[in-house]
Amino acid sequence: MSQDWYVCFTKPRQEELAHQRLASQGYAVYLPRFVRWVRHARQWQRVSSALFPRYLFVQPGDAGQSLAPVRNTPGVAGLVRFGPELARLSALRMEALRRVVAALDAATPEQPFAAGAAVVFSHGPLAGLQGIVSQVADERVMVMFNLLGQPQTVAVPADQLACA
């Protein structure tokens, strides 16, 4: 079995489809993902997104498996090439990438804002000011900040904040 991984270019927003179809053909497939918080319908949701949009990594399942069927797989636009050579990653680099993705996952907070986190007011009358989260409730976040040299605390809707 080849130790090299190949870089696959997918069609727009079809990384998951390509991942499923390649895996069903017997290829080893890796689609690095990260989790982020987004505000949707007045609620915060954890959303998983491709770390490298439109790219995933594929490895033949065994030594005799050809890469030719990859380019005809639904969701796949082709294999990345540098001239006539296919783009490759060694097993060591792939393992390093997996460790980085695992560290990103471990660093993702359980809530969109936690006490002590640095935030920026993204819009509203305080837009552009920075502060520190002191408390988090269901609808509002208490933020401490300096205004004209005086410490202030204000409760604001979470959608008016962004991570600093």
At residue 51, the pLDDT reads 94
Burial of 73 (0-12, 13-18, 19+ CB in 10 A): buried
Query: Of residues 128 and 32, which shows the higher confidence score?
Result: 32
pLDDT in tens, 62-97: 888 999 999 999 999 999 999 999 999 999 999 999
Structural domains in the chain plus CATH codes: 5-107 (3.30.70.940), 118-163 (2.30.30)
**How far apart, in whole angstroms, are the C-alpha atoms of residue 18 and residue 11?**
9
At residue 42, the pLDDT reads 66
- The CA distances from residue 32 to 42, 94, 100, 101, in Å, are 28, 10, 10, 7
pLDDT in tens, 89-135: 999 999 999 999 999 888 777 677 778 888 888 878 888 889 999 88
Q: What is the mean pLDDT of residues 37-58?
A: 85
Task: Share the mean pLDDT of the chain.
Answer: 88
| Residue 1 pLDDT level (bands cut at 50, 70, 90) | very low
